[in-house]
Structure 1
Amino acid sequence: MVVIKKDRGMASNLQRAIRTYGFISLYDGLSAQLVRQLTYTSLRFHLYEMGKSHLDDPDGLLDKVLVAGLAGCVAGVVGTPMELINTRMQVNRALPKETRWNYRNLFDGLYRVTRDEGFTKLYSGCLLSFMRSSFITISQNAAYDQAKQIYTEWFHMKHDNTLLHLISSVTAAFICGPIIKPIENLRYLRMVNSRRLIHSISYMMRFGSRGPFRGIVPYLLRMVPNTVITFLSFEQLRVNFGYIEEIEDDK
């Protein structure tokens, strides 16, 4: 939806992709996405939690924002090459046949970009990737912690309450979506076609004020369950590791 010129909606794009290329085409870029989640996402969560543990006031919103921004930026250095391959694999079928990359998987993509375009090309659109990574960590992790803190006070919930984690996660996802989408769309365009930034902005605005938020519905449909599952799993891990630490302390 971000790359194609035609003004087709989510349902139309899904139908077209399945009819033309089959259901499996919806999973283009899966290998890059999985490795990206295992590395970049795990790293920014770890760095954020580690940074919070060194804060004098871990409940302060500004402190959490600063730590989240730094954690996201550092994780972005690791994640940008995988973001590039993931983006290209996802939009590959939407391009004319003569301009397609046809990467077989993440590692084939990394090798071919390095061989054909040079190592630095792996960081095409890196500034936008670093910005996105910082803002997504702020609007997910910091927003989640702040929402959880607010809901705990308002509804007098316990910190290990599943409903508390659920509503805090959904809140963070809906804060994250509108903030990240314009940066995300620009990043897509820069990674697919490394034209000047002003040209990418102009192309993004081809649908007027809807341009920066093009694809917001499928983005939220992905972001909300992804955020909920990620934070619920993370909280469970934190409880389990905390429990293990308590046992070791008792011993």
Structure 2
Amino acid sequence: MPAAAIVEDAKQQSASVFVSAKESLHDAEAAMKSATENPKQATTDFLHTPFMRAALPFINGGIAGMTATTVIQPIDMIKVRLQLAGEGVKTGPKPTPISVLREILASGKALDLYTGLSAGLLRQAVYTTARLGFFDTFMATMAKSAEKKGQKVGFKERAGAGLAAGGLAAVVGNPADLALIRMQSDGLKPAAARANYTSVIDALVRISKNEGVTRLWAGAYPTVVRAMALNFGQLAFFSEAKTHLKNTSLSARNQTLTASAIAGFFASFFSLPFDFVKTRLQKQTRAPDGTLPYKGMFDCFAKVAKDEGLLRFYRGFGTYYVRIAPHAMVTLIVADYLGFITK
């Protein structure tokens, strides 16, 4: 091709690129102007993009869970201390939520009630984002499938979605959960033996370095079972209760409050024994000879039942319910509201 023709072709391509860029810039300016003049419409358009429709259940779930954790963290701290008291002794101390609270406040460190908040927030950012996101995604898929068949999603499908979402989310969130337990139980050790973690990142890094990365998934089995039990109780019963309450005279807000309270009770009842075992397994560290108090979930169940009695698994049920029910209520209400405003 002659040089003149090459130059002419290059000029035409450059002109075409310039025109395209100019048009794109004009479109961008028009979009920005439209967004400035009508921000509500711009937000609605953005929220209805395919990517955001898929991401919103996860985003809303994470925000809802982190909001609830910030409110409930002191109760969670007391719950963990109750579960770890009198370990290995059937006739050991019988602390109450009030006595644990007094002990923490007597040390002059009221902010200790928020020990592990960073780990709790990270856990919610991972765990609740995943479990509510997966649950909503599974439910939407099943609803479409049922609609095509002229059917409705029943309790069995809701329960299956809750179990699957809880199990998947628990595996992802276990490291943050373990860091939270370690930070909350650190104050029970003698001063010289405390790790004094400064943050969740510090805890994760030091546990990985000193005990191995796989240790971050200690207690994963009971954590997964607990999450499945909790989600079964929380999400399945919440969804089922809301379905039945729609036929009552209760307002939409009271329907949500009542359904979340019912869900909180069943979530507490089904999950507390597994939460108890999870706490014991995640708190334990190796003795100088390299041994651990418990070999795994079933060994922990057996030893606690033998040495401390079966009722020990339900120690602190009231505190656990007070921790789970409001957390479920705040999470589900916030998620419901976010889902409403981002329709």
TM-score of the superposition, structure 1-length normalised? 0.89
Give matches, 1:77-88, under 5 Å. 77-88=171-182
Task: Report the Cα distance in structure 1 between the residues aligned to 2:186 and 2:131, rounded to whole angstroms.
Answer: 28
Task: Report the Cα distance in structure 2 between the residues aligned to 1:45 and 1:78, rounded to whole angstroms.
Answer: 13
Task: Report the Cα distance in structure 1 between the residues aligned to 2:192 and 2:316, rounded to whole angstroms.
Answer: 26
Give matches, 1:2-13, under 5 Å. 2-5=83-86, 6-13=93-100
Aligned partner letter, 1:166: L
1:179 aligns with: 270
User: CA contact under 8 A between 1:4 and 1:94: conserved in structure 2?
Assistant: no
Greater RCO, 1 or 2 (C-alpha within 8 Å, sep 6+): 2
Provide runs of 4+ in structure 1 moved above 6 Å: none
User: CA contact under 8 A between 1:147 and 1:168: conserved in structure 2?
Assistant: yes
Displacement of 1:21 in angstroms is 4.7
2:41 aligns with: none
Residue 301 of structure 2 corresponds to residue 201 of structure 1: yes
1:192 aligns with: 283
Distance of aligned partners of 1:203 and 1:26 in 2 relative to their CA distance in 1, 3 Å threshold:
farther
Task: Report the Cα distance in structure 1 between the residues aligned to 2:160 and 2:299, rounded to whole angstroms.
Answer: 31
Deviations 1:52-101 (A, max 9, x none): 11113453111111111111111112110000000111111112345433
Aligned partner letter, 1:241: T
User: CA contact under 8 A between 1:88 and 1:191: conserved in structure 2?
Assistant: yes
SS at the partner of 2:309? helix
Distance of aligned partners of 1:151 and 1:237 in 2 relative to their CA distance in 1, 3 Å threshold:
same
Displacement of 1:202 in angstroms is 4.6
2:56 aligns with: none
1:34 aligns with: 121
Aligned partner letter, 2:295: R
1:163 aligns with: 254
Displacement of 1:44 in angstroms is 0.6
Give matches, 1:24-63, under 5 Å. 24-55=111-142, 56-57=145-146, 59-63=153-157
Distance of aligned partners of 1:30 and 1:14 in 2 relative to their CA distance in 1, 3 Å threshold:
same
Task: Report the Cα distance in structure 1 between the residues aligned to 2:214 and 2:129, rounded to whole angstroms.
Answer: 24
Residue 213 of structure 2 corresponds to residue 112 of structure 1: no
Task: Report the Cα distance in structure 2 between the residues aligned to 1:18 and 1:157, rounded to whole angstroms.
Answer: 41
More deviation, 217-226/181-190: 217-226
Match of 1:94 among 184, 188, 191: 188
Displacement of 1:209 in angstroms is 3.4
Task: Report the Cα distance in structure 1 between the residues aligned to 2:164 and 2:192, rounded to whole angstroms.
Answer: 40
Structure 1: stretches of 5+ with no match in the other structure: 243-251
Deviations 1:123-176 (A, max 9, x none): 0011111111122121111110001111223x1557xx1011010000000111
1:69 aligns with: 163
Displacement of 1:229 in angstroms is 1.2
SS at the partner of 1:85? helix
Residue 110 of structure 2 corresponds to residue 23 of structure 1: yes
1:245 aligns with: none
User: CA contact under 8 A between 1:103 and 1:109: conserved in structure 2?
Assistant: yes
Displacement of 1:221 in angstroms is 1.3
Task: Report the Cα distance in structure 1 between the residues aligned to 2:98 and 2:137, rounded to whole angstroms.
Answer: 41
Over alpha carbons, which structure has the higher Rg?
2
Aligned partner letter, 2:119: A
TM-score of the superposition, structure 2-length normalised? 0.66
Distance of aligned partners of 1:16 and 1:214 in 2 relative to their CA distance in 1, 3 Å threshold:
same
Match of 2:323 among 202, 222, 225: 222
Displacement of 1:183 in angstroms is 0.3
Determine what percentage of the aligned residue pairs are the same residue. 23
* Residue correspondences, number: 239
